[in-house]
Amino acid sequence: MASSAFNSDAPVLAPPTIQLERDRTRQNIPTKKQIVDPFRQGLITQGGVGYTQTVVIRSYEVGADKTATLESILNLLQETALNHVWMSGLLGDGFGATHGMVRNNLIWVVSRMQVQAESYPIWGEVVEIDTWVGASGKNGMRRDWLIRSHVTGHVFARATSTWVMMNKHTRHLSKIPEDVRAEISPWFIGNVAIKEDVPEKIIKLNDSAKYMNSNMKPNRSDLDMNHHVNNVKYVKWMLETIPEQFLEGHQLSSITLEYRRECSSSDIVQSLCEPDEDSVEKDGGINLLRGFNMATEICEGSGLLGSLDTWPLKYTHLLQIKGDNKSEEIVRGRTTWKKKLSILPFSTT
């Protein structure tokens, strides 16, 4: 009789269970609250409920001007949020989901996000990212962040977001179950990174928007662990609609996003963008669009046209899924911009 390497009396784990146990061993997810994480340079702060992580801005996180891109900033916000849950000892096997959420087949989805950036860290700079959570109504959670210089303490950016729970099978929004509330509510604090007395209402654009990119299709690499398009990808699609000439001389100072529905890999996406013509750059209180046509004629062949060009500094955005009969909103957005410090105004002197 052939011998077996297994004890027939021992339980045999199903392959998915084996893989899950292997993953948890490799990840080494804490089962109880941790104070310090030496591998991520993170620690629990704010009386035991906040989280601070030290990060070095890497070369692949910056653009041509050597400053961190907005997409990199948003990815860092997402990463520190997940690491905060990791340190809490509450992380299950979901994308930031607690043990109670896993039992109830629930996941987090962001419904609103706002970022205000005064400036951006540069390549090689060491920054500290603070994050914490609080209640948002009866069935939501607010998460806030501060990004600041490790050396000077200067605050580069502030961010706030609102999250709700969704059933990962039905894709319907859910109330917070009592066992989940018991897990997360001890971590809630009342501090806010951005105080917003009356949330800004973002209008819905239509197909008459000035700028438009159509027939965009998500790639497999755009999907996150919850199998829908990552919200950072949405922002990239939005910003790509704005003319390149404007983006070269300006940096984003604030963005507000209102998420409406998920986007899957099979959807065809359209990005719309409408400038706010009342927000055109001004110099000394005089609208620079006055006489712009004459300046264009003078400088058209001189290479100085980009210096004279003026643009609105506020834009409204819409991402939508294009269907045969109707379009479904994915996310509405509002961006505000300012000139980059390195871009000097044209002078005749």
Catalytic residues: 226, 228, 263
SS (H, E, C) the chain: CCCCCCCCCCCCCCHHHHHHHHHHHHHCCCCCCCCEECCCCEEEEHHHCEEEEEEECCHHHECCCCEECHHHHHHHHHHHHHHHHHHHCCECCCCCCEHHHHHCCEEEEEEEEEEEECCCCECCCEEEEEEEEEEECCCEEEEEEEEEECCCCCEEEEEEEEEEEEECCCCCEECCCHHHHHHHHHHECCCCCCCCCCCCCCCCCCCCCCEEEEEECCCHHHECCCCCECHHHHHHHHHHCCCHHHHHHEEEEEEEEEECCCCCCCCCEEEEEEECHHHECEECCEECCCCHHHHHHHHCCCCCHHHHCCCECEEEEEEEEECCCCEEEEEEEEEEEEECCCCCCCCCC
Q: Are 235 and 71 in contact (CB under 8 A)?
A: yes
Long-range contacts formed by 6-13: CB under 8 A, 24+ apart = none
What are the residues whose beta carbons fall under 8 Å from the beta carbon of 127, sequence distance 6 or more? 54, 55, 56, 57, 121, 147, 148, 149, 150, 156
